[in-house]
């Protein structure tokens, strides 16, 4: 798949996919082939296209029952974000454990050898090696392939799951702190205690249509040891819009700010791109390039913006305004970097209605969240409420 880092490219991809979003998607979504899925995730990750826009387009063509599987996949992304918003310590634990695993890599020659082979796609497991190289070359993997790779990484190669999550986050165009971290935790048996995901040769053969049937895979998947998930905090509700001379700060997490421009009249717009902070290691040039291109697209739509390279630059810039407004940055690198430097008492984090409604329901597993989806869909009762002013 090719992904141009523009809002228009995302909208074009959405229009092309909509006819296949119903029963065709449900029947084919597990097959590892490009046209089985929407390919919208890089655009949703940076909110070049929003979840409500996707839902509205799909439901204009399909009934909720016909598009049920695709609608659930859209809400999985929302659910993961809400779950992590209420448990930010899980992200901080992951960050600490990545650094600890990288420290081990420096001192354990065998671990370093195996980790480097896995990242390079040189393990000798043909399916795994194909997907590892595909990830490095394209910045994208089908969701089912991500599950197989994660399972083989953890249970066959017996590598630290945190290094695998870091490998993905460094290379995925749609690398999302919530979906990526919690997906790897789920495979390893940490997210839903005792439940793991085992990659099986027959399953891989079926859903790759016989392209791969790898030998030598682990036949059991005992859960990885780790602390249970912490109890949830209250979900964010969002701040009120500020008044006075306001600076609008954007991050790579939300690059379509038109939804809030009827609530905030900024004196200046700035962008802080934290993509390079996804990992202690170097981020793929392809990933950095997509984020940079998305910022350029923002500027083409919105007009000139101030580029802020570091958190310290953000602090200096924010000092020039009575208040700073920004779309609520979800748990991840941007929120982590901004927390110490945004002016206390003068920062207003505005939450999209889609998130405000859905996140409080992410208190437990997805199967307790799923029954809320029809109610959440009904709440999307006006375009203004969904999106604010729109541009195509």
Residue 57 counted as domain residue: yes
Q: Are residues 305 and 335 in the same domain?
A: yes
Q: Are residues 271 and 374 in the same domain?
A: no
Residue 271 counted as domain residue: yes
Q: Are residues 119 and 164 in the same domain?
A: yes
Residues 254, 108 contacting (CB under 8 angstroms): no
Q: Are residues 261 and 362 in the same domain?
A: no
* Helices 88-107 and 68-85, axial angle in degrees (round to 10): 80
Rounded average pLDDT over 70-75: 97
Instruction: Report how far residue 5's alpha carbon sits from residue 274's, in angstroms, rounded to the nearest whole number.
Output: 16
Selection from 230, 78, 101, 96 nearest residue 161 by Cα: 101
Instruction: Report how far residue 259's alpha carbon sits from residue 351's, in angstroms, rounded to the nearest whole number.
Output: 10
Between 349 and 225, the higher pLDDT residue: 349
User: What are the strands of the beta sheet with 246-251, ordered from one edge?
Assistant: 306-308, 268-272, 246-251, 323-327, 347-350
Residue 295 counted as domain residue: yes
Residue 236 counted as domain residue: no
* Model pLDDT for residues 135-188, shown as the tens digit of each residue: 999 999 999 999 999 999 999 999 999 999 999 999 999 999 999 999 999 999
* Model pLDDT for residues 183-233, shown as the tens digit of each residue: 999 999 999 988 999 999 999 999 999 999 999 999 999 999 988 899 999
Q: Are residues 330 and 363 in the same domain?
A: no
Split at pLDDT 50, 70, 90, the class of 382 is: very low
Residue 104 counted as domain residue: yes
CATH code for the domain in which residue 152 is found:
1.10.579.10
Residue 365 counted as domain residue: yes
* Model pLDDT for residues 81-103, shown as the tens digit of each residue: 999 999 999 999 999 999 999 99
CB atoms near residue 65 (< 10 Å): 9
Could you tell me where the beta strands, DSSP code E, fall in the chain? 246-251, 268-272, 306-308, 323-327, 347-350
> Which residues span the domain enclosing 142?
94-207
Q: Are residues 18 and 58 in the same domain?
A: yes
- The reported pLDDT for the residue numbered 380 is 73
Residues 164, 25 contacting (CB under 8 angstroms): no
Q: Which pTM does this prediction carry?
A: 0.95
Q: In the predicted model, is pLDDT for residue 68 greater than 60? A: yes
* Model pLDDT for residues 274-308, shown as the tens digit of each residue: 999 999 999 999 999 999 999 999 999 999 999 99
Q: Are residues 70 and 128 in the same domain?
A: no
CATH code for the domain in which residue 331 is found:
3.40.50.620
* Model pLDDT for residues 256-271, shown as the tens digit of each residue: 999 999 899 999 999 9
Q: Are residues 110 and 172 in the same domain?
A: yes
* Mean of pLDDT over the chain: 95
Q: Are residues 54 and 147 in the same domain?
A: no
Q: Are residues 180 and 158 in the same domain?
A: yes
Q: Are residues 16 and 61 in the same domain?
A: yes
CATH code for the domain in which residue 27 is found:
1.25.40.80
Name the domain count of the chain. Answer: 3
Residue 176 counted as domain residue: yes
Q: In the predicted model, is pLDDT for residue 357 greater than 70? A: yes
Residue 2 counted as domain residue: no
């Amino acid at each position: 798949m090719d992904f141009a880092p523009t809002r228009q490219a995302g909208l074009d991809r959405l229009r092309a996919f909509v006819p296949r979003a119903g029963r065709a998607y449900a029947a084919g979504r597990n097959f590892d082939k490009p046209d089985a899925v929407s390919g919208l995730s890089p655009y949703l990750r940076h909110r070049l296209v929003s979840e409500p826009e996707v839902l509205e387009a799909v439901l204009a063509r399909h009934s909720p029952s016909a598009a049920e599987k695709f609608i659930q996949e859209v809400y999985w992304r929302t659910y993961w974000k809400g779950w992590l918003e209420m448990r930010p310590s899980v992200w901080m634990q992951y960050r600490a454990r990545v650094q600890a695993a990288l420290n081990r890599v420096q001192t354990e020659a065998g671990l370093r050898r195996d980790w480097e082979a896995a990242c390079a796609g040189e393990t000798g497991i043909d399916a795994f090696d194909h997907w590892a190289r595909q990830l490095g070359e394209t910045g994208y993997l089908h969701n089912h392939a991500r599950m197989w790779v994660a399972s083989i990484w953890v249970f066959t190669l017996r590598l630290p799951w945190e290094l695998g999550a870091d490998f993905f986050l460094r290379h995925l165009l749609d690398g999302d702190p919530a979906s990526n971290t919690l997906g790897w935790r789920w495979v390893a048996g940490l997210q839903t205690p005792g439940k793991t995901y085992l990659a099986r040769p027959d399953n891989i053969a079926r859903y790759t249509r016989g392209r791969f049937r790898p030998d030598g895979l682990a036949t059991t998947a005992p859960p990885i040891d780790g602390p249970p998930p912490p109890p949830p905090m209250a979900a964010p509700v969002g701040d009120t819009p500020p008044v006075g001379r306001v600076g609008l700060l954007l991050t790579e997490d939300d690059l379509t700010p038109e939804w809030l421009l009827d609530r905030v009249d900024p004196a200046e717009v700035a962008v802080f791109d934290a993509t390079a902070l996804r990992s202690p290691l170097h981020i793929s040039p392809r990933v950095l390039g997509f984020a940079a291109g998305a910022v350029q697209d923002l500027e083409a739509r919105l007009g000139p913006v101030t580029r802020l390279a570091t958190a310290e630059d953000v602090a200096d810039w924010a000092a020039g305004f009575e208040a700073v407004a920004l779309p609520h940055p979800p748990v991840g690198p941007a929120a982590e970097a901004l927390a110490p430097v945004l002016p206390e008492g003068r920062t207003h984090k505005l939450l999209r209605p889609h998130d405000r409604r859905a996140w409080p329901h992410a208190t437990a597993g997805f199967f307790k969240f799923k029954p809320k989806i029809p109610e959440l869909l009904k709440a999307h009762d006006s375009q203004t409420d969904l999106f604010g002013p729109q541009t195509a």
